[in-house]
Amino acid sequence: MDPRGFWGRSASSWLCGLLLLAACLGFYSNVFRLIPGRRQIEESRSSTEGRPLQGQQESLPSSQDGLRVVPQGMLLETKQCSERDCPPDTCRVPEVPRMVYPKAQLLQPARADVLVMTPWFAPVIWDGVFDSAILDAQFENTTVGLTVFAIRKYVVFLELFLQTAEKHFMVGHKVTYYVFTDRPGDVPRVPLGEGRQVVVLEVRNYSRWQDVSMHRMEMISNFSRQRFLHEVDYLVCVDVDMRLRDHVGVEILSPLFGTLHPGFYGAARAAFTYERRPQSQAHIPRDEGDFYYAGGFLGGSAAEVLRLTSACHRAMVVDRAHGIEAVWHDESHLNRYLLDHKPTKVLSPQYLWDEQLLGWPAVVKKLRYVTGSSGTDDGLA
């Protein structure tokens, strides 16, 4: 058959068919727009990935015909901040009482020798740039969880860690130490100040230290979902083989914060020890990167820490399936995450220092959280 004949004869029926199809599409697109939430639900699901909202979604009331009705309030809640998701300093401007303090000098900045603001407007926390009296008033009634892992022989670090934290960590605020350990019987009893408690969480151990370090992300993520989200406003997650030597207070609190690694704060991008192999989920190309963050001091709101730890854990699971382990383990994945999710505060290396390795340069002024147990100025000699 002449193809032209076929097309000519059937042109009118094709046209009719097309018109009918267009009418149907128009009708159904309007109908679907009227049904609340199909896409919104998908969107809110993807925007809340890693949040403990799944339980809530599963318990949504469903009508007799099986249609799941999403109440409007719930959709709004996923977009807006909930109390825990959005801690006091970002949800609302806290009211402070009358206070007397030195006025900030606009023309005489407290620090002219260091960067105090990232290009995305996150403060970099150095000595001299904050006033603890104002911040303590703003963060009154804030609850902080401090997670620390003491697996196997690392339990020996707990005593000094807890003793020095009692002297310097968030003094005057409500603090819960979450001690993850496989040896609950070896957790020392350290006298605690008012409003402070130790919660021992028994967890499994791993034979490789790299696995202990990396699985912190998984365990913090799981416990965040189960309890931290409901118990604390902020989480601070640190290495245990260290001690506090000077004030670490609410100046660090923010929805998401990372700490500048003391070995790289002055280094060029090319010198950062990011994971460079494209096969790894932690991979960062050589022309990217803001800072090199340390694995030993991170935190944020309980909700953001849940997001961070879940994402890093997921990335490590994918790496393992591909037979690759990032060069600096959880730290490599943390750096990838904080490149994609810019921290809202960046802690200077004052908050993680190694005096034996790096001495005490003038720029750091105070050493706040340090490796090793040398030195006596933490008052515990």
Catalytic residues: 331
Do the annotations mark residue 181 as ligand-binding? no
Taking CB under 6 A as the criterion, the residue among 328, 337, 351, 353 binding ligand UD2 is 328
Taking CB under 6 A as the criterion, the residue among 162, 203, 284, 294 binding ligand UD2 is 294
Q: In this complex, which beta carbon is closest to ligand UD2, that of residue 48 or of residue 181?
A: 181
| Contacting Mn ion within 339-368 (CB under 5 A) | none
Q: b vs e for 172-195, b when ≥16 Cβ sit within 10 Å of the residue's Cβ?
A: ebbbbbbbbbbbeeebeebeeeee
Point out which span in 31-39, 185-193, 224-232, 327-335 binds ligand UD2 (CB under 6 A): 327-335
Q: In this complex, which beta carbon is closest to ligand UD2, that of residue 156 or of residue 363?
A: 156
Do the annotations mark residue 273 as ligand-binding? yes
Residue 161 C-beta: closest distance to ligand UD2, Å: 9
Q: In this complex, which beta carbon is closest to ligand UD2, that of residue 176 or of residue 213?
A: 213
Return the axis-axis angle of helices 302-321 and 209-223, rounded to nearest 10°. 140
Task: Output the CA torsion sign for 288, 290, 294, 298.
Answer: negative
Do the annotations mark residue 182 as ligand-binding? no
Residue 310 C-beta: closest distance to ligand UD2, Å: 17
Whole-angstrom distance, CA of residue 13 vs CA of residue 20: 11
Rule CB under 6 A: is residue 122 a binding residue for ligand UD2?
Answer: no
Q: How many residues bind ligand UD2 (CB under 6 A)?
A: 19
**Tokens 């068919």 belong to which residue?**
17
Do the annotations mark residue 116 as ligand-binding? no
Taking CB under 5 A as the criterion, the residue among 140, 182, 241, 355 binding Mn ion is 241
Q: Lay out the sheet containing 256-260: strands in order across.
A: 124-125, 345-347, 256-260, 293-301, 234-238, 143-150, 174-181, 196-202
Whole-angstrom distance, CA of residue 307 vs CA of residue 341: 10
**Tokens 């790299």 belong to which residue?**
210
| Contacting ligand UD2 within 138-157 (CB under 6 A) | 149-152, 154
Q: In this complex, which beta carbon is closest to Mn ion, that of residue 166 or of residue 239?
A: 239
Whole-angstrom distance, CA of residue 366 vs CA of residue 194: 26
Contact 31, 25 (CB under 8 A): no
| Residues 187-226: x where in contact with ligand UD2 by CB under 6 A, - otherwise, as a string | ----------------------x--xx-------------
Amino acid at 302: A
Rule CB under 5 A: is residue 239 a binding residue for Mn ion?
Answer: yes
Whole-angstrom distance, CA of residue 206 vs CA of residue 152: 9
Point out which span in 27-35, 158-166, 238-246, 308-316 binds ligand UD2 (CB under 6 A): 238-246
What are residue 244's DSSP bridge partners? 369
Write out the DSSP string of 103-142.
PP-TTS-S-SSS--B-TTSPBEE-TTS--HHHHHHHTTT-
Do the annotations mark residue 154 as ligand-binding? yes
Tokens describing residue 21: 């199809």
Point out which span in 58-66, 181-189, 240-248, 264-272 binds Mn ion (CB under 5 A): 240-248
Do the annotations mark residue 85 as ligand-binding? no
Binding-site positions for Mn(2+) read 239, 241
Give contact residues for ligand UD2 (rule: CB under 6 A): 149-152, 154, 209, 212-213, 239-241, 294-296, 328-331, 352
